[in-house]
Structure 1
C-alpha cells in the first residue's frame, strides 16, 4: 500500500489548518479508508485534539492513526505511515522552517487553506513559493468563507491570477467545526447531516481525485 500524502500548509496563522486536517482525516476514515494524521506543528493543536478524542471515544476507537513528531524524525515517520495507509495528512508549522519544508517535500499535494480576503491571499504567497521550491503541487482551499458570494467570487478570480489550482468545494465559517473539535470529534460525527459536514465531504472527495 502506498498512501496519498497531503501537507496542510499555510504560513499565516489562524487559517484553520488543524481543523481542516482533522476533518479531512475523518471524512476519509468514515469512508473506510485507513488514514494517518501527523502533527509536526510545535503548537501541538492536533495532539491536544487527539488526546481529547481518546478520552471521548476511548483508546483504539479513534478511527485514525495519529503521530506527533518534529525534527529529523518527521520525514521517516511520514514515509513509514505511507506504507500502511491510504491517506496521510501532515499538519505543518505556520512558518517555513525545516519541518514545514520536509512536509511539503514529502507531499503529493499541498493543501493551502486561505480565507477569502486580500490580506489572507497576500500572506499565502510564501507558502506557494515554498511548494514551488520543493516541486510539490499546491491547491488552495477557500476556508471559513463568509456568506458573501460576491466577495468569494472576486477572491476566486484573484487566486486564478496566480496560476494555482483552487478547489471548487468551499468551506464555510461554521460554528459546528469548533464545537465538534472541542470534544475531540468532527462535525462529520456530531452533525453528519449539517452543511458543514457536507462541505467537508465534498472537499475530501475532490482532493482524493488529484
Structure 2
C-alpha cells in the first residue's frame, strides 16, 4: 500500500512551515512509520536541518530526505510513497507553480497559520489553492502566544475562515515555544530534545490527529 503524502503549505513566509514539517516527520518516525521528507522550497531550510541532523547523529537520521524542484516533484514523491508510510513535502512560500504541484500531489494539505490579522488574511490564497486542486486542507493554528485574549478572538476568526473555505481546523494548537527553534538548531525535534515539555506533547498530539484523519 502506497504511503500518505502530506504537503505543508503556506504562501506567507514566517508561519512556521518548515518547523512544523520537520517536527511532524520525526513524530511519525518515532511512532514506527517509515518517513521521508521532501524539500522543494528554494530556501532549503529543511535540507539544512536534515544535514545538521545527519552530522549530529552520525548519519542515523531515522528518516529519508530528498531535495528537488519543479516538474519532477510529483513523480519523485509518488516513487517515495512506494517505500515509505508517510511523505512530508515542505513547499515553497511564493513559487505558485511548484506550490501547486506540491498541493496537487498531496492527500492532505497542512496549512500553519499564526493568530495574527496579517497571517490570517495571507492564508486565503493557500486555502483557495487547495480547494482548486480538490485536496483536503487542515489549518493548524501555530505559534499561539500564552494568555492572549486577542489570540482567542483570532482563533475564532481563523476557524470561520477555514470552514467557509471547506477546510478543517486542527483541534491541536501549537504554542509559541523556544524549544522548537532550539531543537532545530541541533538537527532534532522537541520530541527528542525536550521530551517532557508541552511542546513535545503538542507535536505528538498533532501528529496523531493528522494520522487519525485517515
Q: Same fold (TM over 0.5)?
A: yes
Aligned mates of 2:82, 2:170 — CA distance in 1: 27
Match of 1:108 in 2: 107
Match of 1:98 in 2: 97
Matched, 1:183 2:193: no
Aligned mates of 2:156, 2:182 — CA distance in 1: 32
Q: Contact conserved, 1:156 with 1:166, CA < 8 A, in 2?
A: no
- What's the offset of the Cα at 1:151? 2.7
Match of 1:202 in 2: 205
Match of 2:35 in 1: 35
Match of 1:166 in 2: 169
Aligned mates of 1:26, 1:98 — CA distance in 2: 28
TM-score (normalizing by structure 2)? 0.95
Match of 1:135 in 2: 134
Aligned mates of 1:13, 1:148 — CA distance in 2: 25
Q: Matched residue of 2:7: which SS?
A: strand
Aligned mates of 1:68, 1:168 — CA distance in 2: 31
Q: Matched residue of 2:181: which SS?
A: helix
What is the CA deviation profile of residues 154-177 of structure 1, one whole-angstrom value per residue up to 9, with x for unaligned ones? 223212322121101011011111
TM-score (normalizing by structure 1)? 0.96
Q: Structure 2: give runs of 5+ residues left out of the alignment.
A: none
Q: Contact conserved, 1:33 with 1:87, CA < 8 A, in 2?
A: yes
- What's the offset of the Cα at 1:96? 4.7
Q: Contact conserved, 1:96 with 1:130, CA < 8 A, in 2?
A: no
- What's the offset of the Cα at 1:3? 1.0
Match of 1:69 in 2: 68
Aligned mates of 1:100, 1:203 — CA distance in 2: 23
What is the CA deviation profile of residues 127-160 of structure 1, one whole-angstrom value per residue up to 9, with x for unaligned ones? 0011111111111001110003533332232123
Match of 1:3 in 2: 3
CA RMSD, aligned part only?
1.0
Q: Contact conserved, 1:176 with 1:187, CA < 8 A, in 2?
A: yes
